[in-house]
Amino acid sequence: MSPAVFRARDKRFPLDRVYVMGILNVTPDSFSDGGRYFGEDAAMARAVQMAQEGADIIDIGGQSTRPGYTPISPEEEWARIRAVLPRVIRETGRAVSVDTFYPWVAIRALEAGAHILNDVTGFSEAMFQAAAGSGCGCVVTFPRGGAGADVCTAAHRFFLDRLEMARRSGIDGEQLCFDPGIGFGKTMDENLRLLARVDRTRVPGTAFLMAASRKRVTGFPCGDPPFAERLPATLAAHTAAILGGADLVRVHDVKEGVQAAQMALALRQAKE
């Protein structure tokens, strides 16, 4: 039997291996690397480096969504990424994701060639309508907390609801990738449960992304080191998620993330 597939326009990701999504924040204020790649030349240099290090997908964000962030307008968000996006597609050859919750930005990103839309607010009807007909991949985040010990069940139910919403817009399951939303409105215990119990959260036949890189959950158990010193904890968190069945991980540190993902996949396959 052929493996399930995550499909994003002309890019196909068979779900019999693990894929690494590299983070490219074209922002002045992201929680970990704000300002480092805020500029076309710096962003392009980083995108090329991530591709060389083995990133399968490059995720471009023009707006910080860190805790307490101040939203910017769709026009300003698009102004930050519109020159970078087509260059990253052209010069890296990788699948390119755009991190946005604005349908207006999503439409323009797709017109510019983006393969994936990554909406940390969980995809509204308007976002699915923006994606409809394009064949793009959709990363759908569970953006809420408050369920406590039942957070995995709550996330799973949310994903099933979004699966039906997507289908009403003509988007099938192969285009969906679900993200449990580590750090978005959740307690530390909820974040840890989601990392540890991918099997209780994922929807069979669809892709599953874990995105814990450098987040608060990777600092709390380790004495709260600075963001830049959370690589070991990030690798541990993502390894646990991959062993539990995650198909993709979203990372700041691509070279290390790729190597860890390869090892974790080998261990997962050895259990089968």
Cβ-proximal residues to 117 (8 Å cutoff; 6+ apart), any chain: 97, 98, 100, 106, 109, 110, 127, 130, 131, 136, 137, 138, 139
Task: Answer for the pair 210, 249: CB distance below 8 angstroms, yes or no.
Answer: yes
Which H or E run includes 156?
A: helix 151-168
Which of 67-76, 105-114, 133-142, 259-268 has the weakest average pLDDT? Answer: 67-76
Look up residue 242 and give its two tokens: 């991959």
Catalytic pick from 94, 162, 214, 215?
A: 215
| Residues spanned by the domain of 45 | 5-271
CATH number, position 66: 3.20.20.20
Which one from 250, 255, 268, 271 is the annotated catalytic residue?
A: 250
pTM above 0.85, yes or no: yes
215 is a catalytic site residue: yes
d(CA 46, CA 40): 10
Catalytic residue at 255?
no
- Output DSSP code: residue 2: P
* Number of domain units in the chain: 1
- The secondary structure element, H or E, covering residue 11 is strand 11-14
Kindly report, residue by residue over 63-120, the tens digit of the pLDDT.
Answer: 877 676 678 999 999 999 999 999 999 999 999 999 999 999 999 999 999 999 999 9
